């Protein structure tokens, strides 16, 4: 298995090296480790995954952990994605109300003006061609979108399913524990092998020389009868609680017509990059009691 994290700047909530697993931009190879442990919890995890099919279509709801104070400095820390890998389409929505934030068709991303600071963009949509975007433009967009959302929309690969993330985690696992089993499914905690994580997570070629020196995150996988329903990632040593890390909940996506896109469109190259900033967060809790 190989991890292929996209280059990004660290947000206030998370370190880029820990986020190597976060956004699930993973290339899962066909070659599996022949000596993999299939006894105990590790065997139970693999057996559960063997019973699942990897979906072409799915939804994921992403939530970055930590205080709402972080919303004041890091935009788009929660959102929902609708992913259709068969058509290479991704729709990004506000997690709470379903408002469309962005649409991706293959290598072209359309960003709604609501992602930008007020009056920064006159058109309804900003068109971004990932095949031709330059480094300066990408840096601005990562600032506007935030580390979390940009990690999905600007990545070379489409978001991975929960099944792909779980399979890749199992392949570089050092230890697997079963945490619970209830009506929601069975939850496993996966401690990744540090050497394999360092080798697979990329290092300097993805823009962060410290990547290969970082200890791996701890992964929790919840599996029900039909899917990997949740993936939770936490920094090492902070396995309990939601003070750091992130969670991704997965669901099914029925085939259907893509949401319509109306309004004017401006190419990113037509805009003044110096005037592009993220919108103000409606959930910023700075000054509020925590």
pLDDT at 49 over 90: yes
Residue 138 maps to a domain: yes
Alpha-carbon distances of 132 from 60, 154, 277, rounded to whole Å: 28, 12, 21
Mean pLDDT (whole number) for 159-163: 96
Residue 194 maps to a domain: yes
Residue 284 maps to a domain: no
Average pLDDT, the chain: 81
User: Who wins on pLDDT, 218 or 239?
Assistant: 218
Provide the β-strand partners of residue 129. 108
Residue 148 maps to a domain: yes
Provide the β-strand partners of residue 26. 3
Q: Report the pLDDT value the prediction gives residue 113, as an integer from 0 to 100.
A: 96
Locate 4 and state its tokens: 């292929």
Interatomic CA distance for residues 82 and 92, integer angstroms: 7
Whether the full predicted model's pTM is greater than 0.85, yes or no, is no
Residue 14 maps to a domain: yes
Residue 35 maps to a domain: yes
Name residues whose C-beta falls within 8 Å of residue 174's C-beta, 6 or more positions apart in sequence.
191, 192, 193, 194
pLDDT above 70 coverage of the chain, percent = 77
Q: Report the pLDDT value the prediction gives residue 200, as an integer from 0 to 100.
A: 75
Interatomic CA distance for residues 87 and 152, integer angstroms: 16
Q: Are 57 and 161 a contacting pair, CB within 8 Å? A: no
pLDDT at 34 over 80: no
Interatomic CA distance for residues 68 and 70, integer angstroms: 5
Residue 286 maps to a domain: no
User: For residue 219, what are the domain limits?
Assistant: 2-275
Q: Report the pLDDT value the prediction gives residue 79, as an integer from 0 to 100.
A: 96
pLDDT at 14 over 60: no
pLDDT at 4 over 60: no
Domain count, the chain: 1
């Amino acid at each position: 298995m190989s991890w292929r994290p996209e280059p990004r700047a660290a947000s206030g909530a998370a370190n880029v090296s820990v986020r190597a697993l976060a956004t699930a931009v993973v290339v899962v190879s066909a070659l599996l480790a022949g000596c993999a442990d299939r006894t105990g919890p590790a065997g139970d995890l693999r057996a559960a995954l063997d019973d699942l099919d990897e979906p072409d279509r799915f939804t994921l709801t992403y939530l970055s952990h930590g205080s709402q104070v972080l919303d004041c400095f890091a935009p788009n820390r929660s959102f929902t994605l609708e992913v259709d890998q068969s058509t290479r389409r991704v729709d990004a929505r506000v997690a709470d109300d379903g408002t469309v934030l962005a649409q991706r068709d293959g290598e072209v991303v359309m960003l709604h003006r609501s992602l930008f600071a007020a009056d920064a963009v006159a058109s309804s949509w900003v068109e971004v061609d990932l095949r031709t975007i330059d480094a300066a433009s990408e840096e601005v967009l990562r600032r506007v979108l935030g580390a979390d959302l940009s990690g999905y929309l600007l990545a070379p690969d489409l978001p991975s399913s929960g099944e792909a993330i779980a399979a890749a985690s199992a392949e570089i696992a050092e230890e697997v524990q079963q945490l619970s089993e209830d009506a929601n499914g069975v939850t496993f905690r996966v401690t990744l092998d540090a050497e394999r994580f360092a080798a697979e997570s990329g290092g300097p070629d993805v823009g962060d020389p410290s990547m290969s020196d970082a200890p791996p995150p701890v992964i929790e996988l919840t599996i029900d009868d039909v899917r990997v329903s949740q993936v939770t990632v936490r920094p090492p040593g902070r396995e309990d609680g939601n003070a750091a890390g992130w969670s991704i909940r997965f669901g099914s996506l029925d085939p259907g017509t893509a949401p319509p896109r109306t309004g004017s469109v401006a190419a990113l190259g037509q805009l003044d990059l110096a005037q592009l900033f993220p919108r103000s967060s409606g959930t910023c809790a700075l000054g509020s009691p925590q």
